[in-house]
Amino acid sequence: MKKNHFIVVSVLLLFLLLVLGVNSVSAQKPAYLDVNQSIEKRIENALSLMTLEEKVAMCHAQSKFSSRGVPRLGIPEVWTDDGPHGVREEVLWDKWSAAGWTNDSCTAFPALTCLAASFNPQMSLNYGKAIGEEARYRNKNMLLGPGVNIYRTPLNGRNFEYMGEDPYLASRMCVPYIQGVQQNGVAACVKHFALNNQETNRRAINVEISDRALHEIYLPAFKAAVQEGNAWSIMGSYNKFRGEYNCHNDLLLNKILKNDWKFDGVVISDWGGVHNGDQAVNNGLDLEMGTSTNGFTTDGTTPYSQYFLAAPYLKGLKSGKYTETVLNDKVSRILRLIFRTTMSANRPFGKFVSPEHSEIARKIAEEGIVLLKNENEFLPIPVDKYKKIAVIGKNAIKSLIVGGGSSSLKAAYEVSPLNGLIKKYGKDHIVYSKGYDSGKTEYSKEINSKVNADSLIKAAVEIAKTADIVLFVGGLNKSKFQDSETADRESLDLPFGQDKLIAALLKANKNTAIILNSGNAVSMPWVKDVPAIVQAWYLGSEAGNAFANVIAGDINPSGKLPFSFPKKLEDNAAISFGQISYPGDGEIEKYKEDILVGYRWFDTKKITPLFPFGFGLSYTSFEYGKIATDKKVYSSDDLIKVSFTLKNSGKVDGAEAAQVYVSQPKASVVRPLKELKAFKKVFLKAGEIQTVEMEIKAKDMAFYNENAKEWTLESGEFILRNAASAADVKSSISISIK
Ligand code: GLC
C-alpha cells in the first residue's frame, strides 16, 4: 500500500512541476509572441511594449516595397510586391530597376480580364491560391492585387488588370482570389480604392460622381472584397474624390471602409499618393508607401524619414497636434496584418513555378478565351486537317508578359502563340510572317522597326496566298498608349497598321481568322469579312499552350466578355458626354453617365454593341429552358430560387456561363433596364441536359437611395431574365416583392 501511495504522490508532484515549468516558460514569453494567444491580445501586448518612435516607424515605407517592423521586439518587416498577375521580380532597395536576382522568375498567370471572362469563381480560387503560394515562397506578406476598378471606357490603359464593367461579376470573381491568396499567409491588397478608372492625369484628377453610382457601380467589388473576401489590406488610389486625395480620403477610408464596412486591415497608399500631412494622419491612411532614398543616405527628394507619416508625424504627436489613439489604430492594423501573416502559426511555405501553377495558369487561360465569331465551324482546326497554316502577326511571337507598368513580370517561361501552334501542328505545317511591327521596347509608341510596314505586309501576303488557312495574331500589347499604366489609349483602333494588313490578308486568302491579344475592346472594321474571331487576352506563361488547345479543339472555349465591345468610341457612355466626362478638364472629371455603365448604357440608349457583355460562343450549342422561381411573392429577407434547364444540343462537351439579370420596371428612380445578379458556369457533355439552379438575395435587387443614404428595396414587380449574354435574353418571369 505504502509503495502505491508513494507512486501516486510522486506522479502528482511531477505533474505539478511540469505544469509550473511550462507556465514559467510561457510566463517568460510575452503574449505578442505567443501564437496561442488571440491576435487582439497579441496586438495589445505589442503596443504596450513599443515606443512612440517605433510605432511611427511602422507607418511609412523604409524602402521601395517594404516598411519597418520592430527589430528590438522581433516583429518582422512588412514586404509587399506587385502584382495581380504574378510576383514581380526583386527591384533595388529604392529604385524601380531590377535587382538582377536569379531566383525570382515567376509563373505569369493570365491577366484578370481573362480570369473574369471565365465567369468561374473556382478559377479565381485556384488563381489566388497559386499566386499566393508564389508570393509566400518569395517571402512577401502582401501581394499588391487584385485590381477591381470598373471598366468605364475602352481607353483606360490598365483595364487589363481589372475585372470588367459589371460590379456583380467583379465582386464574385475577386472574393475567391483574395481568399486563395490569404490562405498562404499573404495579405491581398485590393486596389485602387476608388474611382481610378483611367490613367490620364491619374495622380490629380478629381472625380465627381453621384452617391448612387458610387455605391451601385464603383464600390461593390471593394465591399465584397472586405466583407466576403476578408481582405487584409486595401490600396488607396492616386486620384481625388470630391476634392480629397483617395490615399487620405475621409469619406472613403474612415466613413465607408472602416466605419460602415468594418474593415480591420491596413490601408496603404499608392506609391507617392500622399499629399497632405494632417489628412494622412486623420483620414484613415495607415501605411505611406513611395520612393525616395537609396536606403543608405537621405539623397532623393523625400527621404523616408521625411514622409508625412514619419518625422513630421512624430513631431506632431510630441507637440500634441496628433493623438496617440489614432496612431495606435494604425499600428494595431499593421500588427494585425503581421500576426495574420509572418507571425501566424502554421503558416504554409508556398511554392514557386511549380507544375501545378502552370496547370492552373493554363486552365484559367483556356476557360477565359472568348470565341467571338465562328462561321461554318471554321474553328476548331483538327491537327491533320490542313497541310499549311500561315501564322501572321507580331503578337504571335512578342512577349506580352513584359511591360504594362507595375504588373510587368520576369517570367520563368512564356510559350508564345507561334510556339504553341508549332508544338500542336508540327513545324512542317506552320509558316510564319510578322506582318506588322510594334516597336522594339515595351514603352515605344511608334514603330521603330527597321523593315517598313509595306514590305512586312507584302511578305505576309505572299505566304497567306499559298496557305490553306491564315491565323492572324495581333491586337494590343503592353506598350505605352496601349494596355499599360500611366497613359490611356488614344483610339479604339488597332495600332501599327493591323487593319490594313488584315484587309490585305483577306484579299490574299479569305480563310483568315483573327486572334486578338488585348485587355481592352478594339474596333473591327473587318468584322463581317472574317470567318472567325478569338479574344485571347494576355494569357501569361502558358499562352501558346492554352491558345493552341482551343484552336485545335482539344479545349472547347467557354469564356464570355467581361465588358462590352462598342462599335465606335462615341457609343461608350463616358466618352459620349465629352471631355468633362472623360478624361476630364485636367482638374475635374464628372462621371455623367452615372449608373449607366457598359451594357446598362447600351440597353437604356438602345445602342447595339459590336459584341455585348457576357457574350461568347462555343464549339457546341446550348438550349435554355424557361426561367422559373420557387415562389411568386417574396419578402426582402428572402432568397429567390431561380431554375431553368440547360441543354448541350451540340456534338461536343462544353461549358456555358448562364446569366440571370434583374429589372425593376416601375421603380421610383431611374434604374438600368437590367442588371446581372447571378451567373453559373455549367459543364455539359454533348446531349446532356441539366437543371441549373441559382439564388438571388432579394435585398441584392435594391437600389442605393441617395436621400435615405441607404439601400432601398421597393415593393412591387421585378422581372428576372435568364440569358446567354446581355443581348441574348432567353426568357423572363415576373415576381413581386412585398
Ligand atoms: C503603381 C501602381 C500600383 C502598384 C504600385 C507599386 O503606381 O499604381 O498598382 O502596385 O505603384 O508598384
Domain residue limits, the chain: 1-33, 355-604, 622-737
Q: Report the nearest-CA residue for atom 4 of ligand 1.
A: 406
Q: What is the pLDDT of residues 126-151, one digit of tens each?
A: 999 999 999 999 999 999 999 999 99
Nearest CA, atom 8, ligand 1: 270
Write down the pLDDT at residue 673.
98
21 alpha carbon – ligand 1 mean position (Å): 50
Q: Which of 64, 79, 80, 82 to mutate to test the pocket of ligand 1 (most atoms within 8 A of CB)?
A: 82
pLDDT score recorded for residue 5: 74
Q: How far is the CA of 90 from the centre of ligand 1 (A)?
A: 14
423 vs 163: CA distance, rounded Å: 31
Ligand 1 atom at minimal distance to the Cα of residue 189: 10
pLDDT at 13 over 80: no
Grid cell at residue 191: 486596389
When mean pLDDT is compared across 250-259, 373-382, 433-442, 543-552, the lowest value belongs to: 433-442
Atom of ligand 1 nearest to the CA of 191: 9
Work out the pLDDT band at 669, boundaries 50, 70, 90: very high
- What number does CATH give the domain 355-604? 3.40.50.1700
Beta partners for residue 565, in sequence order = 611
Enclosing H/E stretch for 599: helix 599-604
Distance 578 CA to ligand 1 centre (A): 28
Distance from Cα 613 to the centre of ligand 1, integer Å: 28
Distance CA 469, CA 391 (A): 9
Active-site entry in 104, 270, 499, 571: 270
**Atom from ligand 1 closest to the CA of residue 147:** 9
Q: What is the rounded CA–CA span in Å between residue 696 and residue 640?
A: 5
Sheet of strand 675-684, all strands in order from the earlier edge strand to the far edge:
633-634, 728-737, 716-725, 654-663, 675-684
Q: What is the mean pLDDT of residues 469-484?
A: 96
Ligand 1 mutation target, pool 81, 85, 161, 271, most atoms within 8 A of CB:
271
Mean pLDDT along residues 20-31: 65
Q: Which residue's CA lies nearest to atom 7 of ligand 1?
A: 271
Q: C-alpha cell of 583?
A: 478624361
- pLDDT at residue 451 above 70? no
| 3-state SS, residue 31 | helix
Look up the pTM and report it: 0.95
Count of Cβ atoms closer than 10 Å to residue 14 Cβ = 10
> Rounded to the nearest whole angstrom, what is the distance from the C-alpha of residue 194 to the centroid of ligand 1?
14
Known catalytic residue at 270: yes
For residue 237, which atom of ligand 1 is closest to its CA?
8
Ligand 1 center to residue 247 CA distance, Å?
Answer: 13
Give the model confidence (pLDDT) of 346-372 as tens digits. Answer: 999 999 999 999 999 999 999 999 999
In a 13 Å sphere around the CA of 379, the CA atoms on its Cβ side amount to 30
442 pLDDT above the threshold of 60: no
Q: Is 301 or 590 the better-scoring residue by pLDDT?
A: 590
Q: Give the amino acid at 272.
A: G
Tens of pLDDT, residues 37-81: 999 999 999 999 999 999 999 999 999 999 999 999 999 999 999
Given a cut of 70, whether residue 18 has pLDDT beyond it is no
Instruction: State yes or no: pLDDT of 273 exceeds 70.
Output: yes
Is the per-residue pLDDT at 220 higher than 60?
Answer: yes
Is pLDDT of 23 > 60? no
pLDDT average, residue stretch 378-384? 97
- Inform me whether the pLDDT recorded for 608 exceeds 90: yes
pLDDT digits (tens, 9 = 90+) for 507-562: 999 999 999 999 999 999 999 999 999 999 999 999 999 999 999 999 999 999 99
Starting at the earlier edge strand, list the strands of the sheet with 266-268.
66-67, 78-81, 142-143, 187-193, 233-236, 266-268
Distance 158 CA to ligand 1 centre (A): 11
pLDDT value for 559: 98
Residues lining ligand 1, Cβ inside 6 A: 82, 144, 191, 270-271, 406
692 neighbors 643 (Cβ within 8 angstroms): yes
Distances (CA, A) of 672 to 97, 594, 662, 675: 46, 11, 9, 7
pLDDT at 712 over 70: yes
- Ligand 1 mean position, distance from CA 611 (Å): 31
> Which residue reads 505566304 in cell numbers?
463
Closest CA to 497 of 449, 429, 464: 449
- Could you please report the per-residue DSSP string of 522-580? ---TTTTT-SEEEE----GGGHHHHHHHHHHTSS------SS-B-SSGGGSHHHHT-TT
Q: Provide the β-strand partners of residue 658.
A: 680
CA nearest ligand 1 atom 11, residue: 271
Give the atom of ligand 1 at the shortest distance from the alpha carbon of 82: 10
In this structure, are strands 588-590 and 206-208 parallel, antiparallel, or unpaired?
parallel
Whether the Cβ atoms of residue 391 and residue 431 lie closer than 8 Å to each other: yes
pLDDT computed for residue 479 by the predictor? 92
**Which of 67, 485, 486 to mutate for ligand 1's pocket (most ligand atoms within 8 Å of CB)?**
485
Mutate to test the pocket of ligand 1, among 144, 158, 291 (most ligand atoms within 8 A of CB): 144
Given a contact cutoff of 8 angstroms between Cβ atoms, the answer to whether 492 and 512 are in contact is no
* Residue listed under C-alpha cell 499618393: 273
Q: Answer whether 159's CB lies under 8 Å from 105's CB.
A: no
Contact 286, 267 (CB under 8 A): yes
Instruction: Locate all alpha helices (DSSP H) within 29-98, ordered by sequence.
Output: 39-49, 52-57
Share of the chain above pLDDT 70, in %: 96
Tell me the mean pLDDT in the region 564-591. 98
Phi then psi for residue 407, to 5 deg, are -90, 5
Report residue 720's pLDDT band, with 50, 70 and 90 as the boundaries.
very high
Q: Residue 295 to residues 231, 546, 570, 603, 673: CA-CA distances in angstroms?
A: 30, 43, 48, 54, 55
Half-sphere exposure (CA, 13 Å, Cβ side) for 180?
A: 23
pLDDT band at residue 10 using 50, 70 and 90 as cut-offs:
confident
Is the confidence at residue 300, as pLDDT, over 80?
no
* 194 preceded by a cis bond (ω within 30 of 0): yes
One fold for 355-604 and 622-737: no
Superfamily of domain 622-737: Immunoglobulins (2.60.40.10)
The pairing of beta strand 187-193 with beta strand 206-208: unpaired
| Mean pLDDT of the residues in the chain | 95
Q: What share of the chain is helix, strand, coil (3-state, %, to 5)?
A: 35, 20, 45
Residue 112: C-alpha distances to residues 146, 163, 501 (Å): 8, 6, 29
C-alpha distances (whole Å) from 732 to each of 128, 541, 665 are 35, 42, 13
